[in-house]
Every structure is written in C-alpha cells, then in structure tokens.
A = this chain, B = another copy of it.
C-alpha cells in the first residue's frame, strides 16, 4: 500500500515524532524553561552543552514507526540503538511512553518532571549522554561501536515471538565486527528463533568525515545487502510527510515478510535459509535541526554530529535554538502542565509492549536458573594423585553436553570453530553446530537447530553471547587463550555494563559471562609464538573487582567444580583457563570440591613441612602445577632435608587483599598460608608480574619469586615451552635451592645436575623432536615412595 497512513494518522504520528525531537533538543540544551513559557534566554541554557544531535531525529523516527507497528499488530519488539550516542532520543521516547517516570518517579510527566529530564541529561549527578544501562529498554550501551547487530541476533535466538529492531549507523557499519555480523542470518532459524530487523541508517557522516556506505552507488549498496543475504528496502528522503508514508508502508511489508517466513518454517518445517528483509533509511544528519549556523550548512552535515551550536553566547544562537525548538510546535504536543496530549499518548504501545518496558530488554526479569546436572557424576576416578591422565576440557564437555540437553531453549555455547578443538566433543552426542546455510552430506554435526554457535569471529561469538545473556539466558564461550584478546574491548564494555547495573535496582541480575580459555599458552608449541598469550587475565583484573572472577583449575575435577559454580553465578565475568591435552590428575572429587571452596589451599600430600617450611612452593594453572609438583619430587629425591609446603591456587583473586576484591584473603589468612618470612617460589600460568601486582601489599611479598610466561616460545615440544620460560621442573628446583639459600655445596651439586638435565633435554629434542621419555612418562611418586627408594 503506497500511503497506508490516513491524514489523521500521519498528523498524529508526525506530532509524536516532533515531541520526541523536542524532548531530545531540550535535553541537550535546556536548564530551565522546558515548555518555552518564557522567551528563551541564555540563563535557560545549560552552561556546558554535551550530547549528540546528529543521529537522534532518525532514531526517533524509527522509534515512532515501530510504535505504530507494535500497536497495530500487537508485535513484540525491542530496539537496539547502534548509534548509542543518540541517547537523548531514546530517553525522550522512554519518557513519552511513561516508563521513565515509572522507573524514576521524580522525573514525572509534567513540567517539573520535564525540567528534571532536561537538566539531568549529561549533567553531574544526572544521566550519561549515551544510551546506557540507566536507559530503560536498552541492552546495548552507546559506547564502542560495532556490536549492535551481534547483540540483536543474540537477543533473537530462542525467542520465537520477538522482533529485534536494530539500528546500525553508517559509521558503525565501517567497523569490522559489524561488517561480519550481517552474516548472522546464516545462524537464525525462523522455526525456533525470533527475527532481527536491521535498519541501516545512512545519515552520511561520522564525527568529521563522510561514511563509506553513504558514498557507494545505490546498486552497489543493494548488491552488498543481497550479498549478505538480505532483501533490502530503501526509505530515502528528507520530507517528513513523504517519509512517514514510505516508512509506514515499508514496515508493513517487512513485518508481513518476517511473519510469513516464520509461519512457513513453523508450519512446514525449516527448509532453506530465507532472505530476511532489512531497511536502508537515508535521512539527513541532524534532520529537522538548524539548516545553517554561522553561515555554514549544519543539517545534513557533519556539523550536526554533536551540539550544532556550542557557544550559546554567540550572537543569534539563542534565537536559532528557540526557533528550532518552536519548529516542533510544543504547544500542540504538551498541555499546559507539560503532559503529552492524550491523543498522542495513545499512540504508544501499552505495558510490556512498550519497547522501553519489554522484559526482553531487562533480561534478569526473565532469567530462569539452568537445570544443572550433578557435576560430581563426571568425576575422574582419582585414587592417588598424579597417576591417571585425563583431558580436563573433554570431561567438562560431558557436563556441558548434559546442560545442553537439560536446557534446550536457554543455553547455547559459542566458539570460533574451536568447540571440538577445545575438546568439548561430547556435546555433539546431543546437538550440532548451528547452520541455516547449505549443509552437505559430508558435513558432520551440522543442523539448523544446533546449539553450538560457531563462526570464525570472536567478535561474533562474544556479541551473540552478550545479546543472549542480556535477554535473560545462559551461555559459555570457549576460545583459544591467545585470541580472546580479540574481544578485549568488548569484554571492557560488558564489564562496565555489569558494574553499572549492580547499582540499578530495577535491573535484576543476569547470568554471568563465562569464558573457557583453552589451547593455552603452554600447549601452543605446535602453532608457535603467534598463538601464545596468557594476558587476557591481566586485562580482566583491571575491571571492577565486584564483577570479575578468574579461575585456574589444575585438573578435571576442579574444572568441573568451578564450571558448576560459574554457571550458577550472576552478573559476573568468569574466566576459566584449563588445558585440553591429556594431563595427570591430582584431586579426587571430594578434595576438588573442598579445594575450590577454599579457592587456595595447601596440598598436604605434596608437602612435608608441617608448620615450618623452608620454602613455600605455590602454583596456579595446570602446567604450572605439573612442573611444580615434578620439582617437588626432584627436591625430595636430591635434598630430602628440605621442608616444603605446596600451595595451589584455583581462584586467582584470593591473592588480592580483601579490601581490593571480595574473594581476597585477609592478611592473616595470607600469612598463614605463605608464612610471614619464608621464601616463596610461585609457578604461574600467565605473566609472572600479575602475581606481584596482586600481592604487592602482602607482608611476605619481598620474598616472593614468580616464574611464568615471559614471551618466549616457538614451534617446539611441550616441555621445551616451559624450559624456554624457565618454568620447568629443572629450573624451578634450582630456583628453590637458590631461594632457600642455606643448602651449601649439596645444593650447588644438585643445581649443576639439573643444569645438565636441561642440556640433555636440548640435545634430545633437537635430535628426536619429542621430549625425553622421563618427561613424557613422569608420574607422581609421593614422599613415602621416594623415601622408600633410599632406605638409608
């Protein structure tokens, strides 16, 4: 239908849009006089103007048209604002439909409230200038660009009735993550998932320069969208009256298309990937704003990006602003008391259909705990430490498999094609990789209903998972350790979101963001130096302690316990680092549970010191633990007079003082473990200085010596990787002797012997390409067995 809106509908819809625009401009500029009851003067204007006008009228335009669709069809829609700079627009709409005052009653729907709404924006003690956790209806912070569409798809998975409208700015469209996120349509199943409606908003300019997609020919843009697998609809122009009709007609068509695709798949079963609709909306930047300021084009130019008129004391600027505000004819929009006129207010959807009050945009409201299996059933049967080998993440995979099976609609796993590589293969007993693209007979474990989301884009995995969590579901991201840095900045944004949300009472907690980092630095000997980086932990601990948790389980049973804990937690980011290769197992399940409960503890079976150790040997991380335990046995064999205490750390944040992290040990507890004055040798999975950074305030820090990864590595053998970084058993045993310092000639002789072992290792690997048999076949003997070897 060419012109679906009657004159009255058009007029009211346009008025509602003008109301949103008026409130947006008011937020950016006004300190007082919200209804312009007095002639506008400098004193009514904020002394410092902060905000982004350029994208805002377009965001408002889309919002009011979505309101129409929701109301007409009782649709279930949420709104993701890629151009999150347009905060005032979203806040304006949330206020117009009443949600704002419900959540923040002091910002009432009257003149006083409107004045508060205006003043608080970008103001100390007020609200951020961007779309933020404080904005009802938002699951997407207006911070770093690139993730809008990934979040949108994440929100749509397993929400069959939901339509996620996602506005993508043409600036954001230039980012890498956004450019690949269009391909998410190869993972969306119309039979079981909701729909995503991408709206590419071309307003032509970024901060200062033009955008790429606004400057390619129409046919090329159409080809690009078709190439991405969409059916593009173009809504272009600058005359609001015409654009309202075109937008309304287009949205009618697009929602028909979406529902028809879904109906077909739901009635007839999934057959082939549909060509989902998307919209290209081309409107001027700063649309309806001042055409010119100081003789320079402003509407339709980069000069509208932030505040079109900065210096309000400049002659004529107050007048331009007044004229601009009045161009929306506020007297037609709000009554004398400042309330939106009822014939406009009724255009907004009601209750939870309001995009600002849709519970999907406040996922904690919908969150259901996972149906968790008893993790103890997957226990590796450890009868004595260090005898049996197991692949920790494969054992974890059994648990993940059953969680997938128990929770068929609210749990997914995400990985850049590394689910199998990281040994979660058991999940393929109950599900597949997800693909709605072509599937060939030779493919394995691939189907349109798979729960394993694999795309070779860490950005996509992270973005999808965030969208899934923020809408109240659960998930797990498994990744190669080195390449998780690809989403460092996405993690930042999510951690910041959680930190803020912790102080917003109307946002109940959501499921934690869980990372498994495997294929880690010590077992990337086959891929070499470029695949070796344990620094994500360093990055993570910079964020607020209240949202950050880091776990380094040394074996399979501890990994199971940690996994169970993390999947039950809320509003955290949990980082778990665990190996995938066959490795010796240390703790039976009861011991593992107790060790994880404490987070850090003395392993008595690997200690012979009682209350007065000569040295404390500490370790965190599977390979660090292995090498330290092997070093313990070397010391026991060679210098049995040494009294050793061995400490293992699962929960890294235990090392920080209590005042820095809620998990932190008190200083007394720390001293009880690490002693106030004995030397400490610590083998750490990651960069050694991280341990210093966590412990520099501890009493015994001056005696702490840490070995870890120091950026040495290449394609070599597994054991050579630890040797290259001085964290192997031979170096550690030498270190222990050095730091004890009182072993005299006996100690020197042992050090020389260990140095010879290192030389033997070098010679051997260069000849045979594999590690010495004594390294490959090493198992734990224990104090009694070693003592028995030398019965005096």
On A, residues with C-beta under 8 Å from B are: 31, 46-48, 50, 122-130, 132, 141-146, 171-172, 174-181, 183, 186, 206-212, 215-216, 220-229, 297, 300-302, 417-421, 433, 435, 437-440, 442-444, 446, 454-457, 459-460, 482-483, 485-486, 488-489, 492-493, 496, 499-500, 526-531, 533, 535, 538-539, 542-544, 687, 689-690, 692-693, 696, 701, 711, 714-717, 720, 765-766, 768-770
Contact for A229 among B122, B220, B222, CB less than 8 A: B220
Of all chain B residues, which has the CB nearest A417?
B206
| Contact between chains at A144 and B482 (CB < 8 Å) | yes
| Contact between chains at A46 and B530 (CB < 8 Å) | no
Contact for A417 among B47, B209, B489, CB less than 8 A: B209
Give chain B residues whose Cβ lies under 8 Å from the Cβ of A442.
Answer: 297, 300-301
A179 to chain B, nearest CB (A): 4
Contact for A130 among B215, B224, B530, CB less than 8 A: B530
A211, A221, A529 — which one has the most chain B CB atoms within 10 A of its CB?
Answer: A529
| Contact between chains at B542 and A535 (CB < 8 Å) | yes
| Contact between chains at B485 and A454 (CB < 8 Å) | no
| Contact between chains at A50 and B715 (CB < 8 Å) | yes
Give chain B residues whose Cβ lies under 8 Å from the Cβ of A417.
Answer: 171, 206-209
| Contact between chains at A175 and B186 (CB < 8 Å) | no
| Contact between chains at A766 and B226 (CB < 8 Å) | no
Of all chain B residues, which has the CB nearest A50?
B526
Give chain B residues whose Cβ lies under 8 Å from the Cβ of A711.
Answer: 496, 499, 542-544
Give chain B residues whose Cβ lies under 8 Å from the Cβ of A212.
Answer: 183, 186, 437, 455
Known: A175-B180, A208-B421, A215-B437. 11 other contacts (CB 8 A): A124-B769, A171-B456, A174-B180, A174-B457, A208-B419, A210-B437, A216-B229, A216-B438, A300-B442, A496-B711, A544-B711
Number of copies of chain A assembled together: 2
A174, A179, A225, A482 — which one has the most chain B CB atoms within 10 A of its CB?
Answer: A179
User: With A and B bound together, what is the CA distance between A533 and B492 in angstroms?
Assistant: 8
Could you list 26 A-B pairs, sorted by A, with CB under 8 Å?
A46-B769, A47-B769, A123-B769, A124-B716, A126-B715, A128-B714, A128-B715, A130-B530, A132-B530, A143-B527, A143-B528, A143-B529, A146-B176, A176-B181, A180-B180, A186-B216, A208-B454, A211-B456, A220-B227, A227-B227, A483-B489, A485-B492, A493-B530, A496-B529, A692-B692, A696-B696
| Contact between chains at A446 and B221 (CB < 8 Å) | no
Contact for A459 among B176, B435, B687, CB less than 8 A: B176
| Contact between chains at A47 and B768 (CB < 8 Å) | yes
Of all chain B residues, which has the CB nearest A710?
B544
A531 to chain B, nearest CB (A): 6
Contact for A145 among B31, B178, B456, B765, CB less than 8 A: B456
| Contact between chains at A720 and B180 (CB < 8 Å) | no
A104 to chain B, nearest CB (A): 16
Give chain B residues whose Cβ lies under 8 Å from the Cβ of A176.
Answer: 146, 175-181, 457, 459-460
User: With A and B bound together, what is the CA distance between A728 and B279 in angstroms?
Assistant: 48
Of all chain B residues, which has the CB nearest A275?
B220
| Contact between chains at B500 and A489 (CB < 8 Å) | no
Give chain B residues whose Cβ lies under 8 Å from the Cβ of A125.
Answer: 716, 765-766
| Contact between chains at A696 and B692 (CB < 8 Å) | yes
Of all chain B residues, which has the CB nearest A51?
B526
A456 to chain B, nearest CB (A): 4
Give chain B residues whose Cβ lies under 8 Å from the Cβ of A122.
Answer: 526, 715
A670 to chain B, nearest CB (A): 16
Give chain B residues whose Cβ lies under 8 Å from the Cβ of A180.
Answer: 174-176, 178-180
Give chain B residues whose Cβ lies under 8 Å from the Cβ of A209.
Answer: 417, 433, 435, 443, 446, 454
Give chain B residues whose Cβ lies under 8 Å from the Cβ of A225.
Answer: 227
Give chain B residues whose Cβ lies under 8 Å from the Cβ of A526.
Answer: 50, 122, 129
A229, A456, A529, A544 — which one has the most chain B CB atoms within 10 A of its CB?
Answer: A456
User: With A and B bound together, what is the CA distance between A485 and B31 in angstroms?
Assistant: 36
| Contact between chains at A175 and B47 (CB < 8 Å) | no
Contact for A210 among B224, B446, B493, B538, CB less than 8 A: B446
Give chain B residues whose Cβ lies under 8 Å from the Cβ of A419.
Answer: 208
User: With A and B bound together, what is the CA distance between A419 and B207 in angstroms?
Assistant: 10
| Contact between chains at B129 and A207 (CB < 8 Å) | no
Of all chain B residues, which has the CB nearest A525?
B50
A47, A419, A539 — which one has the most chain B CB atoms within 10 A of its CB?
Answer: A539
